[in-house]
Amino acid sequence: MSRIGRLPIPVPADVKVDLNGADLTIEGKKGKLSIVCHPAMGVAFDADKKVILVTRPDDNRHNRALHGLTRTLINNMVTGVTTGFEKKLKIEGVGYQAKMDGKTIVLMLGYANPVRLTPPEGVTVEVPDPKEATTIIVRGSDKQKVGQFSAEVRGARKPEPYKGKGIRYFDEVVRRKEGKSFASGG
């Protein structure tokens, strides 16, 4: 059996679970998320023990993969509605900065025009220190949306390997390259 898939998902007391066939809706203090589970996967909510269990019909390769995936997606939903997800990005480069314009983030990244990005529904963007506008925090209850929008922000100016300029994740290490060497050969 799948090591991940067989683990029960604990549900905190303040989280409301609604299971209707293959439709699963989880509601907590950070929001409301729903998913339509694959028909081959069995999802059961035990209200007494406050756990969600995911089962699979057989040991077919496809069902084994879906088993772990379904359990992980549901666990991420429970985590998202209780604590939420957060990604921090750092801007490196002289003159590169970010500022907020309502809900839209405006990035000055050395292009002729500023890059404007609007987060999707359920995702909030924050520039904690407007004077030192080189840190961006993306928060939300849906892990996929937070990761996707963070990737879009990073994609506006990916870190380059020579000077390290661009937008990177806080824990990302950019491997630096040495520039051209003008050795005298003659």
What is the model's pLDDT at position 25? 95
- Whether the per-residue pLDDT at 1 is higher than 70: the answer is no
Q: What is the mean pLDDT of the chain?
A: 92
Q: φ, ψ for residue 111 (rounded to 5)?
A: -85, 170
Distance CA 74, CA 24 (A): 9
Domains, the chain: 9-82 (3.90.930.12), 85-169 (3.90.930.12)
Question: Rounded distance, CA 94 to CA 15, Å?
Answer: 45
The DSSP element (H or E) to which 53 belongs, if any, is strand 51-55
pTM over 0.85: yes
167 vs 84: CA distance, rounded Å: 23
**What does the pLDDT look like over 107-156, one tens digit per residue?**
999 999 999 999 999 999 999 988 888 999 999 999 999 999 999 999 99
Structure tokens at 25: 């809706």
